[in-house]
């Protein structure tokens, strides 16, 4: 493997410092994983005749940080370009996902690419699909490669919750735009005279559904109540997430994290939201959304997070020709939509059986599960829904349940509750974590699933590349 990567380095432009760091890091990561890897079980491959194999060559992310900390003075494209630890000269296309867009850099993929030193001849575009935006970026890249339009695509995601757009009220915006078109002093004075004090009230951003005007926290509280998930269960699950994340962080398992030298500040090397507490301390927190009887608190919810991630995708043929050793195949995937109010966060429940059926697999075939944790109540509600024949029959049109993932295979290196959830960047983290876990734990198939605002969801099968 070392000789193949060395050969690949020689064939890249000598000026590509990003590429050199990627390959050096790839060697280091591979050796660390290989040392402790368990031999994978022998299962059938999901390769299909006449269908191009798409592989993950590498995946990285800058540390995910709580908003208002070290990234607070940056812009989204600064984070996105910092995650572009990929060889610039071979990339055909770049796709990034984001949710809350900075209006000055609405196509953040393009701005990040230019800032990272990519050729101005490399096209880039940005997608948005709430919390599964980078999932959409990845599958967009998969489609482009499968269609023969590209051989090498970078897919990623970014979110900067430390600085979100705050607008004037609609009344003020309308007045200002009309004022800009006024031609005479009289017309301008007439418009100015109509401005009232309430025009100056700003429109603050809210993590709320446009169609229901309800925050996701309220939806999580209602979902937890509907599935009889107690405050104790939610706190226990949140503590599990932080404990496992801390163990993975201390054990050097989070190999996708790359250091980021923040301009004017220190180098950030790890996620800063991983904070195992105690059930006693967590129990002291008051409900955050439904007061005073709600069960969702700051301790059992994912926090507002800044971060960026990126994955290097190639056709298998191209990767091998360049001397790469891929990490995993990206196989079947599905997107789902359901009721955006009562079932806003049940995307994994609806997507999981569909992607399994599409791939010809069962739950028993999956060795590694990586599910997005928006709230502890949300993730536990999904597990209960997946394990309910009644729910499957009455809401999903299925004869029987798909079954819940066993916890011993589930989010074993922490999840969004502990590692953080920069909306647009989480999907890439899930996929590369699944690939790394498959190698270390000796599995072959991983299942990645996530919910998203708007009542949507995504699921994908990740297959370990032959070792």
> CA-to-CA distance for 386 and 400, rounded, in angstroms?
10
Residue with tokens 């004075």: 189
The candidate with the shortest Cα–Cα distance to 224, out of 234, 216, 215, is: 234
The helix (run of H) or strand (run of E) holding residue 223 is: helix 216-226
Helix (H, G, I), strand (E, B) or coil at 363: helix
The candidate with the shortest Cα–Cα distance to 156, out of 86, 87, 102, is: 86
Per-residue b or e along 337-376, where b marks 16 or more CB atoms closer than 10 Å to that residue's CB:
ebebeebbbbbbbbbbbbbbeebebebebbbbbbbbbbbb
Beta carbons within 10 angstroms of residue 109's beta carbon: 28
Task: Say whether the peptide bond before residue 292 is cis (omega within 30 degrees of 0).
Answer: yes
> CA-to-CA distance for 410 and 143, rounded, in angstroms?
28
- With a CB cutoff of 8 Å and minimum separation 6, the contacts of 183 are none
> CA-to-CA distance for 400 and 392, rounded, in angstroms?
6
- Phi (first) and psi of residue 158, to 5 degrees: -150, 150
Question: Which one from 29, 150, 428, 451 is the annotated catalytic residue?
Answer: 451
Is 131 a catalytic site residue?
yes
Is 150 a catalytic site residue?
no
Question: Which one from 29, 131, 150, 428 is the annotated catalytic residue?
Answer: 131
Residue with tokens 């739950």: 363
> CA-to-CA distance for 138 and 93, rounded, in angstroms?
12
Residue with tokens 């029959």: 393
Residue 148 CA from chain centroid, whole number: 26
The 8 Å CB, 24+ separation contacts for 117-124 are 117/18, 117/88, 118/84, 118/88, 118/91, 118/94, 119/88, 119/89, 122/88, 122/91, 122/92, 122/93, 122/94, 123/93, 123/94, 124/93, 124/94, 124/95, 124/96
> CA-to-CA distance for 207 and 213, rounded, in angstroms?
9
> CA-to-CA distance for 156 and 76, rounded, in angstroms?
12
* Spatial contact of 433 and 443, defined as CB atoms under 8 Å apart: no
Query: Residue 94 forms beta bridges with which residues?
Result: 124, 154
Query: Which residues are catalytic, by number?
Result: 131, 451
């Amino acid at each position: 493997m070392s000789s193949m990567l060395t050969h690949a380095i020689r064939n890249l432009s000598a000026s590509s410092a990003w590429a050199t760091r990627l390959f050096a890091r790839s060697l280091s990561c591979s050796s660390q994983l290989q040392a402790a890897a368990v031999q994978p079980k022998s299962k059938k491959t999901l390769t299909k005749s006449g269908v191009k194999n798409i592989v993950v060559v590498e995946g990285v992310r800058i540390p995910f940080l709580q908003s208002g900390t070290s990234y607070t003075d940056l812009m989204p494209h600064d984070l996105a370009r910092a995650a572009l630890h990929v060889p610039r000269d071979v990339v055909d296309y770049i796709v990034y996902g984001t949710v809350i867009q900075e209006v000055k850099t609405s196509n953040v993929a393009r701005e990040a690419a230019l800032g990272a030193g990519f050729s101005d001849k490399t096209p880039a575009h940005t997608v948005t699909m709430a919390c599964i935006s980078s999932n959409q970026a990845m599958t967009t890249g998969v489609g482009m490669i499968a269609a023969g339009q590209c051989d090498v695509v970078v897919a990623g995601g970014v979110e900067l919750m430390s600085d979100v757009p705050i607008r004037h009220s609609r009344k003020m915006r309308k007045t200002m735009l009309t004022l800009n078109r006024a031609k005479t002093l009289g017309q301008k004075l007439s418009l100015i005279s109509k401005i009232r004090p309430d025009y100056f009230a700003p429109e603050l951003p809210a993590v709320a559904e446009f169609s229901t005007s309800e925050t996701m926290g309220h939806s999580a509280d209602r979902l937890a109540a509907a599935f009889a998930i107690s405050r104790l269960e939610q706190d226990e699950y949140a503590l599990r997430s932080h404990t496992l994340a801390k163990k993975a962080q201390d054990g050097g398992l989070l190999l996708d994290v790359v250091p980021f030298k923040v301009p004017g500040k220190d180098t950030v090397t790890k996620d800063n939201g991983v904070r195992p507490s105690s059930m006693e301390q967590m129990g002291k927190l008051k409900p955050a959304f439904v007061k005073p009887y709600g069960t969702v608190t700051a301790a059992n919810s994912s926090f507002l997070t800044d971060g960026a991630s990126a994955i290097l995708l190639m056709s298998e043929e191209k990767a091998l020709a360049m001397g790469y050793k891929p990490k995993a195949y990206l196989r079947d995937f599905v997107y789902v939509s359901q009721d955006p109010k009562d079932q806003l966060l049940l995307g994994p429940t609806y997507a999981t059986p569909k992607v399994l059926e599409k791939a010809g697999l069962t739950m028993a075939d999956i060795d590694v599960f990586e599910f997005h944790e928006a709230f502890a109540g949300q993730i536990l509600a999904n597990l209960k829904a997946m394990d309910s024949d009644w729910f499957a029959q009455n809401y999903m049109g299925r004869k029987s349940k798909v079954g819940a993932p066993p916890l011993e295979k589930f989010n074993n290196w922490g999840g969004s509750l502990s590692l953080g959830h920069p909306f647009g960047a989480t999907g890439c983290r899930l996929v590369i974590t699944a690939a790394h876990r498959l190698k270390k734990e000796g599995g072959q198939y991983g299942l990645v699933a996530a919910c998203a605002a708007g009542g949507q969801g995504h699921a994908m099968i990740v297959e370990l590349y032959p070792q």
